[in-house]
Amino acid sequence: MIPLLGFPLVEPGDDVALLIMEALRANDLSLQQGDVLVVAQKIVSKAENRYVRLADVKVSAEAEALAEKAGKDPRQVELILQESKEVIRVRPGVIIVEHRNGYIHANAGIDKSNIRIAADDPRVLLLPEDPDASARALRKDIADLGAIAPQVIINDSMGRAWRNGTVGLAIGTAGLAPLYNQIGESDLFGNTLEVTEPAVADELAAGASLVMGQAAEGCPVVLARGASLKHSDCGSADLLRDKSLDMFR
């Protein structure tokens, strides 16, 4: 896990692939076959200009009521609802939803930290429109700049059921199979593995999240080498449990 140190602050319209190539050079690195780039959601959202000025938000009656219940800014709640398919749980300070893109996520991943907030014109940052598409584009753009196409994971910090604290998880992937299906393979003693299916993209996203640090936009990109993830063009949807099979919604 190699942090790309000295990564610049990202602004709307920036070319993240180019910034990564420059950061690789500045860190004396070049991409090798099988390298995975783990990229913080925040810089992808910023480059895609997923900012919303709260002053521009029209609050619905539904958002007004939910904001009351959750004790949150109604404009932020309106955005949470717009970014979601379904509200899963509500308690003071937090609204847990199924995001448009399928992950269960507190406050639809809408963030107020590590973004410039003017007191008189607050804004928030939404998740990328389609993180799998963002990851695919990044993979292609880096290859188009002459490098070996990296596998790409876009990660975001998420809360979990049952456990305290957030963990970085994969919200978008490109060029890799996010689950490593070992079902049917044998273990060390020749027993058939029955239910072993590690979520390798999430494990890597989590480890990289620790390297990135939480408050440090200074390191939003981590190069993981030696992970040996299988190639696939399937994106990250396999990580999401189908609603009909989920016992915890």
**Residues 123, 54 contacting (CB under 8 angstroms):** yes
Q: Which is nearer to its own copies, 146 or 164 (CB)?
A: 164
**Residues 227, 204 contacting (CB under 8 angstroms):** yes
Binding of its own copies by 230 (CB under 8 A): no
Binding of its own copies by 112 (CB under 8 A): yes
- Any idea of the CA torsion for 36, 42, 47, 53, to the nearest 10 degrees? 170
Distance CA 33, CA 151 (A): 9
Q: Which of 144, 170, 168 is CA-nearest to residue 20?
A: 144
Smallest distance, Å, CB 68 to its own copies?
Answer: 19
Q: Which is nearer to its own copies, 64 or 197 (CB)?
A: 197
Binding of its own copies by 35 (CB under 8 A): no
Binding of its own copies by 25 (CB under 8 A): no
Q: Quote the tokens at residue 6.
A: 């000295």
- Give the interface segment with its own copies, choosing from 64-72, 73-81, 128-136, 187-195 (CB under 8 A): 187-195
# chain residues binding its own copies, by CB under 8 A = 65
Smallest distance, Å, CB 229 to its own copies?
Answer: 9
Sequence letter at residue 88: I
Distance CA 197, CA 230 (A): 13
Q: Which of 127, 141, 107 is CA-nearest to residue 48?
A: 127
Smallest distance, Å, CB 206 to its own copies?
Answer: 4
Sequence letter at residue 153: I
Binding of its own copies by 208 (CB under 8 A): yes
Judged by the rule CB under 8 A, the positions of this chain that interact with its own copies are 1, 9, 89, 91, 93, 96, 103-104, 112-117, 157, 160-169, 178-180, 182, 185-189, 191, 193-200, 202-204, 206-210, 214-218, 227, 238-241, 246-249
